[in-house]
Structure 1
Amino acid sequence: MNRTEREAAVRQIMERASAPVPPDLRAEAVRRGERLLRRRQVARRVLWLLACAAAVAFGVWAARVHPWTQPPSQTTPPLTGW
């Protein structure tokens, strides 16, 4: 099949009548799209809430434990010079 035959075949396909579209297709697409947007919005809010809760929990833990300070020694140093 050469180029002109392919072009003719494509023209024939494009000139055919299109398939019938269901009348409620637009309404169904809008409903699904709105539901998808609501789910994404809820998921985004839940993730932000979890991130804020984790930040608060970390702040409370760090304020109580003071992980940046050196822990006390478990053994006493030897006493010299008495």
Structure 2
Amino acid sequence: MNLPERESAVRRMLERTPPQVPADLYADVVRRGGRMLRRRTAARRLLWLLLFAAAVAFIVWATMARPWVEPPSDTTPPLTGW
């Protein structure tokens, strides 16, 4: 059986009878879909919260450590030209 024959056979089968779907399938799909949406929303909120916490932690560290300030020198420069 080549591809056009298979396609026509499948089309005939689909046109002949409506697809049989279990009656409780819709309720299961809605329940699972709602659960997936709640999990995805919770994960997205958690990631935003972690990003916000990391930004706050970085800002607090930067204000305390002040990495942009040059550290004080431990040695004095040589005195020349007196």
Query: What is the root-mean-square deviation of aligned Cα atoms in Å?
Result: 2.5
Deviation at 1:48, TM superposition (A): 0.8
Aligned to 1:56: 56
Aligned to 2:13: 13
Count of aligned residue pairs for this structure pair? 81
Aligned to 1:43: 43
Q: Distance in 2 between matches of 1:16 and 1:56?
A: 63
Aligned to 1:66: 66
Deviation at 1:19, TM superposition (A): 4.4
Aligned to 1:29: 29
Runs of 4+ aligned structure 1 residues displaced above 4 Å come to none
5+ long unaligned stretches in structure 2: none
3-state DSSP class of the match of 1:22?
A: coil
3-state DSSP class of the match of 1:50?
A: helix
5+ long unaligned stretches in structure 1: none
